[in-house]
Amino acid sequence: MYLRDGKAPFDGMHEECGVFGVYSTETRDVAHTAYYGLYALQHRGQESCGIAVAYANKISYYKGMGLVPEVFANGNLETLSEGDIAIGHVRYSTTGASSLLNAQPIVFTGKCGKMALAHNGNLTNTKQLREELIRGDAVFQTSIDSEVMALLINKYSDGDIVKGVIEACRRFKGSFSLVVMTSDKLIAVRDPYGIRPLVLGKCLDDVFIASETCAIDAVGGNVVRDVQPSEVLVIDSEGIHSHFLEKAEKTASCIFEYVYFARPDSVIDGCSVYTARKEAGRILAKHYPIDADIVSGVPDSAVVAARGYSEISGIPYVEALAKNRYVGRTFIQPDQHMREDSVSVKMNALRANIRGKRLIIIDDSIVRGTTSRKIVKMLRDAGAKEVHMMICSPIVRHPCHLGIDMQSYSQLIGANRSVEEICAYIGADSLTYMTVEQLKETCRAAKLQFCTGCFDAGYPYPMDDYETDKHKFE
Ligand code: SF4
């Protein structure tokens, strides 16, 4: 099947990034703390990672292409100095090429001395800010938003890093969960809409900032609270202080974090990701009953939902797909050819469980459709009598310009095809999506309102704000 631009669709979406920060008054080995924090956030980005450590008015750092344990193997972690403060980053490129030059944290020397910055999200006014900075004689080394952020923070800082961060963040549009480090401060910022998650944790006098609570748990910390939308948290020898950017008229946390991106053991804005996913299965069972012999989930993110469906419907939960634990998520490779080939390497059908059975298979989402098509074929080849695909989210009809790599309509099968056409393309006996309202219901415990832009164009602000026309139909 070919989409409106004549290209074959490809499947999967890429996560954005993960950030971690630690401010310690006790341990000097903050690099190891950051390492374990990043390890817990690996699911948010697998292309590159890095850690920067502040010590004695200096910053040491190490960045590399690959997974956290690969990059910091062979003594690389030990090359980092002891220190009081560290920030770290795992990256999947949503903007900028996948290269070491674009890996984070960004480390630079400015008006406040040595600084480092790591960013999760995507600015939508980067082009304008970049041009403004270039007119002011700035030069750029990378193509990523974070360098624009660093230069703008420096521009406004006048020796006061907190002022610089606040003034710069007032100029940013889009999504940003940021950690910034100087030799004596750790600063965390969450954009006014709260689009990407960011959480504060503590262990005795050590303070942690992380994209998800699972990273706070991994370093032995206690989750204190979410960083609030528009909050600028300053952590230094005086303690933890809050400042606020102008609040947005509403919040718009990314609902896809619950559907897919976040780890199930994380809690975002008061809502457990695991509970939200289980509830999604329950809601599907209540609203869309199907006469079938077994129900199963595509590992890992949809397994919980399948259990929820089973609970309500009484249809036995049976494992239909076995996952190769040693292969990363389908889409960790930025190369399209590798991505398509990796589905059958990643998982295989459990023939004995599904042969002759009418099967409901639940997945978190369909972006491009090719993975679903391969899964349905795999299940049929293994002897399933019927394959009914149910999706724990609505149809993805619109791109995301807020930090997820779904950046054009041509990539989205839901923007180009009806449900019936998608069902025919993936080869299922039936295909069911949930509605936006039902999806919101799964995360009703969350304290923020949601961005649902990729489903219903309910972005926090009009799409026209985006700097390029790359999201528009050709
Ligand atoms: S458009 Fe979709 S993926 Fe992007 S931030 Fe909004 S809900 Fe999340």
- State in Å: Cα 63 to ligand 1 middle: 28
Do 83 and 228 share a domain, yes or no? yes
Same domain, 177 and 309: no
Spacing, Cα 314 to ligand 1 middle (Å): 33
The answer to whether 17 is a known catalytic residue is yes
Give the span between the Cα atoms of 35 and 259, in whole angstroms.
Answer: 26
Closest atom of ligand 1 relative to the 396 alpha carbon = 2
Q: What are phi and psi of 179, to 5 degrees?
A: -125, 130
Asked if 242 and 320 sit in the same domain, the reply is: no
d(CA 445, CA 441): 9
- State the pLDDT confidence band at 405, using cuts at 50, 70 and 90: confident
Among 364, 452, 471, which is best to mutate for testing ligand 1, by the most ligand atoms less than 8 A from CB?
A: 452
Rounded Cα–Cα distance for residues 230 and 218 (Å): 26
Q: Are residues 152 and 123 in the same domain?
A: yes
* C-alpha dihedral sign at 97, 100, 101, 105: positive
| C-alpha 223 – ligand 1 centre gap (Å) | 25
How far apart are the CA of 356 and the centre of ligand 1, in A? 39
DSSP string, 94-118: SSS-SSGGG-S-EEEEETTEEEEEE
3 state SS of 152: helix
Residue 425 forms part of a structural domain: yes
User: What is the token pair recorded at 134?
Assistant: 């270039």
Q: What is the dihedral of CA 158, 163, 164, 165, to 10 degrees?
A: 160
- The answer as to whether 121 is a domain residue is yes
Q: Which domain holds residue 441?
A: 269-451
Dist. CA 404 → ligand 1 center (Å): 7
Residue 444 pLDDT:
97
Atom of ligand 1 nearest to the CA of 450: 7
Q: Does residue 223 sit in the same domain as residue 313?
A: no
Cis bond leading into 316, ω under 30°?
A: no
Pairing assessment for the beta strands 430-433 and 386-391 based on DSSP bridges: parallel
Residues 46 and 181 in one domain: yes
Nearest CA to ligand 1 atom 4: 400
* CATH code of the domain in which 165 resides: 3.60.20.10
Distance 458 CA to ligand 1 centre (A): 9
Supply the pLDDT for residue 337.
57
Structure confidence by residue, pLDDT tens digits, 258-270:
999 999 999 999 9
Active-site residue, from 17, 214, 392, 423: 17
Report cis status (omega within 30 of 0) of the bond before 300. Answer: yes
For the chain, give the mean pLDDT.
89
In this structure, the number of other CB atoms found within 10 A of the CB of residue 78 comes to 11
394 with 428, same domain: the answer is: yes
- Name residues contacting ligand 1 (CB within 6 A): 195, 254-256, 400, 402, 404, 451-454
Give the model confidence (pLDDT) of 73-115 as tens digits. 999 999 998 899 999 999 986 555 567 888 999 999 999 999 9
Is residue 456 situated within a structural domain? no
Best residue among 175, 177, 255 to mutate for probing ligand 1, ranked by most atoms within 8 Å of CB: 255
356-401: per-residue pLDDT in tens?
A: 999 999 999 999 999 999 999 999 999 999 999 999 999 999 999 8
**Does 103 share its domain with 55?**
yes
1 neighbors 8 (Cβ within 8 angstroms): yes
Our mutation pick for probing the ligand 1 site, out of 260, 436, 454, counting the most ligand atoms within 8 A of Cβ, is: 454
Q: Examine the domain organization and report whether 286 and 407 are in the same domain.
A: yes
Ligand 1 centre distance from Cα of residue 182 (Å) = 31
User: Is there a domain that residue 409 lies in?
Assistant: yes
Q: Which atom of ligand 1 is nearest to the CA of 452?
A: 7
Residue 25 domain-assigned (yes or no): yes
Per-residue tokens: 217: 């748990």
Instruction: Indicate the pLDDT class of residue 26, thresholds 50, 70 and 90.
Output: confident
In the sheet that holds 17-23, the strands lie side by side as 58-65, 48-55, 85-91, 17-23, 206-210, 199-203, 222-226
- Name which residue sits closest to atom 8 of ligand 1, judged by CA: 254
**CATH code, 316:** 3.40.50.2020
Contact 309, 282 (CB under 8 A): yes
Q: What are phi and psi for residue 126, nearest 5 degrees?
A: -60, -40
Number of domains in the chain: 2
Whether residues 289 and 326 share a domain: the answer is yes
Contact status, residue 269 vs residue 253, Cβ threshold 8 Å? yes
pTM assigned to the model = 0.91
Note whether 353 and 445 are same-domain residues.
yes
Identify the pLDDT of residue 340.
54
**Run of H or E including 209:** strand 206-210
Residue 85 lies in a domain: yes
11 within domain boundaries: no
Domain end: 215, 249, 283, which one?
249
**223 and 111 in a common domain:** yes
Task: State both tokens at 382.
Answer: 């293994």
User: Taking 90 as the threshold, does the pLDDT of residue 236 lie above it?
Assistant: yes
Give domain status of residue 366, yes or no. Answer: yes
Residue 3, pLDDT > 70, answer no
For range 322-340, the mean pLDDT: 59
Q: Which atom of ligand 1 is nearest to the CA of 398?
A: 1
Q: State phi, psi for 210 to the nearest 5 degrees.
A: -150, 155
Closest ligand 1 atom to 255 CA: 7
Picking from 425, 296, 327, 420, the residue whose alpha carbon sits closest to that of residue 371 is 425
